[in-house]
Amino acid sequence: MSTIADNLSSVSARIGAAAQAAGREPSSVNLLAVSKTKPAQAIREAHAAGQHHFGENYLQEALAKQAELTDLDVTWHFIGPIQSNKTKAIAEHFAWVHSVDRLKIAQRLSEQRPPHLPPLNICLQVNISGEASKAGCEPQDLAALASAVAALPRLRLRGLMAIPEPSTEATEQNATFARVTALRDGLSLGLDTLSMGMSDDLEAAIAQGATWVRIGTALFGARDYSTPNAPV
Ligand SMILES: *Cc1c(COP(=O)(O)O)cnc(C)c1O
């Protein structure tokens, strides 16, 4: 059985190879370790192997792990769906939020970001595959949302995040990620961030300009949602 440290080196090697193939500096691609459903101990192991950025989807679960890991220098990213009543805790306990898809949530995060902390880094999630049920701002609404969010005082708009419909076709993966990149560039806001690519499609995402890949399964193994206290 491979350890988290082994998985981390395999994923780093994949990132490095994909960056090189795309003519990019490997250091231009950041690894976000997605630790949802995994215990604090798994984060501790990844941290000991050199990983500092962790992404969580469920607020209560994330806060519990943060409380267990106060001795580590971890940068926390919130990447899950956001309900209005969760914005205060998210604004207080995270450095990045990748999943903002409406102005009301952004306004609350800005108002609730504590004054002693730097502005909260924000990615706007875009519904890139046009899935009716999917979270994310519709592409045609993105420009208006982006300019409104860019004007909020306690947020720093960094870029876009997307979760494409899963595809095993590299051609299709590339085409979808290229649309995200084009949307970001079309905003002309000087945004430096593209949060896209997961365990199964990180190569295509990096080929199309990803600056953060969000990796769960390839680092921590398959997630088990069947245990009684696993979040849903
Ligand atoms: C779970 C999750 C990931 C990680 O997906 P893997 O396929 O396990 O690498 C990435 N991004 C988001 C938003 C997620 O919810």
Note down pLDDT in tens along the chain; length 232 residues. 579 999 999 999 999 999 999 999 999 999 999 999 999 999 999 999 999 999 999 999 999 999 999 999 999 999 999 999 999 999 999 999 999 999 999 999 999 999 999 999 999 999 999 877 779 999 999 999 999 999 999 999 999 999 999 999 999 999 999 999 999 999 999 999 999 999 999 999 999 999 999 999 999 999 988 765 555 4
Q: Please indicate whether residue 33, judged by its CB atom, sits closer than 6 Å to ligand 1.
A: no
Residue type for 202, please? Answer: L
Enter the pTM of the model: 0.96
Q: How far is the CA of 40 from the centre of ligand 1 (A)?
A: 17
φ/ψ (deg, to 5) at 120: -80, 125
Where would I find the H helices in 50-199? 59-68, 87-93, 103-112, 142-150, 170-187
Q: Please indicate whether residue 167, judged by its CB atom, sits closer than 6 Å to ligand 1.
A: no
Residues in the chain, total? 232
Which atom of ligand 1 has the smallest separation from the CA of 215?
Answer: 9
Q: Please indicate whether residue 91, judged by its CB atom, sits closer than 6 Å to ligand 1.
A: no
Contacts of residue 112, defined as CB under 8 A and 6 or more positions apart, other chains included, come to 87, 88, 91, 92
User: What three-state secondary structure class fits 111?
Assistant: helix
166 DSSP 8-state letter: P
Q: Please indicate whether residue 198, judged by its CB atom, sits closer than 6 Å to ligand 1.
A: yes
Residue 144 half-sphere exposure toward CB, CA atoms < 13 A: 7
Q: Please indicate whether residue 34, judged by its CB atom, sits closer than 6 Å to ligand 1.
A: yes
DSSP collapsed to 3 states, 72-94 = CCCEEEECCCCCHHHHHHHHHHC
Q: How far is the CA of 186 from the centre of ligand 1 (A)?
A: 26
Q: Please indicate whether residue 79, judged by its CB atom, sits closer than 6 Å to ligand 1.
A: yes
Residue nearest to ligand 1 atom 10, measured at CA = 214
